[in-house]
Amino acid sequence: MRAIDLPKIDGHCHVLDPVRFAYPQEVPYHPRGQEIGTADYFVHVMKAYGVEKALLVGPNSGYGTDNRCLLDALARYPERFKGVAVVPAHCTLAELEALQAQGVVGIAFNPALHGLGYYADIDGLLERLATVGMWAQFQVAGDQLAELLPRLNRLPLALMVDHCGRPVLADGPDAPGLRALLKLAEGGCTLLKLSGFAKFSQQGYPFEDCRAQVLRLLAAFGPEQCIWASDWPYLRADFRLDYGTLLALADDWFTEGQRRQIMWDTPSRIFKG
């Protein structure tokens, strides 16, 4: 059965609605045009492609730590969406619990955009995430994970790593960042998002230069620790991307059993409760 015909959960996407929720002026990048995707429109996209649920990630682009648009989508479509918010390092336990009550299951950190120095003071926040049982989601690039790993290993964190760890493919299969990612695979407590190929491919669709690395990571983590994601609506994309072509890529790269696992069984764990 093809990916389009399987029941699916999209593990990483964004909603942006600057008409209803204006971008804060202090956020330097304001998505526009085809980068914008409202919750209402995304529900139509989901219906068109047989996607039953989705994990909405608060975008650093446009909104930063302003979670109003995300929380509005969670409130209006509670059966469809769970959320990953962006918060400042001083976010309290009570504030995390309030977000949790609104359908937020994790907090996003984006060293790939901000750099590691931006997150020098998050150890307390990570401890609070472990206390309330929320996911800590990291988007890293290159070898950033190698430097970050000792801090993450100090806590019993539930981790999600975005976009295959965004490797620099030219650095080869034994780069420090990839070795750190494989260490996380051994622990069994990390979910890896098989997504964002456009963020580390040097060739563009159909991302043939990414294929071997993605399949290596799938083998290392196992489908039980991997989730598929579209990254819709493709913020800052350098070229056109479409939902249907990404589903077709999943048909080419993964077996039907793997597709069922990474598109439904594994991401379903995020939505429990």
Indicate the range of 148-157, 221-230, 254-263 predicted with least confidence: 148-157
CB 52 within 8 A of CB 8: yes
CATH code where residue 127 lies: 3.20.20.140
Whether residue 193 has pLDDT greater than 70: yes
Q: What are the CA-CA distances from residue 15 to residues 60, 61, 72, 160, 190 (Å)?
A: 12, 11, 10, 19, 25
Whether residue 273 has pLDDT greater than 60: no
pLDDT at residue 222, as a whole number: 97
**For residue 192, what are the contacts with CB-CB under 8 A and spacing of at least 6?**
160, 161, 164, 165, 181, 184, 185, 217, 221, 225, 226, 227
Q: What letter does residue 28 receive in the DSSP assignment?
A: S
Whether residue 54 has pLDDT greater than 60: yes
CB 63 within 8 A of CB 35: no
pLDDT at residue 189, as a whole number: 85
pLDDT digits (tens, 9 = 90+) for 199-220: 999 999 999 999 999 999 999 9
Whether residue 258 has pLDDT greater than 80: yes
Q: What percent of the chain has pLDDT over 90?
A: 94
Position 96, amino acid: L
| Range 118-146 burial, b when 16+ CB lie within 10 A, else e | ebeebeebbebbeeeebbbbbbbbbbbbb
Q: Following DSSP, what letter does each residue of 164-180 receive, concatenated?
A: GG---GGG-TT-HHHHH
pLDDT at residue 36, as a whole number: 96
d(CA 46, CA 34): 17
pTM, to two decimals: 0.96
Q: How many domains does the chain have?
A: 1
pLDDT digits (tens, 9 = 90+) for 82-136: 999 999 999 999 999 999 999 999 999 999 999 999 999 999 999 999 999 999 9
CB 270 within 8 A of CB 224: no
pLDDT digits (tens, 9 = 90+) for 143-178: 999 999 999 999 999 999 999 999 999 999 899 999
Expressed as residue numbers, the domain containing 122 is: 3-271
d(CA 157, CA 134): 8
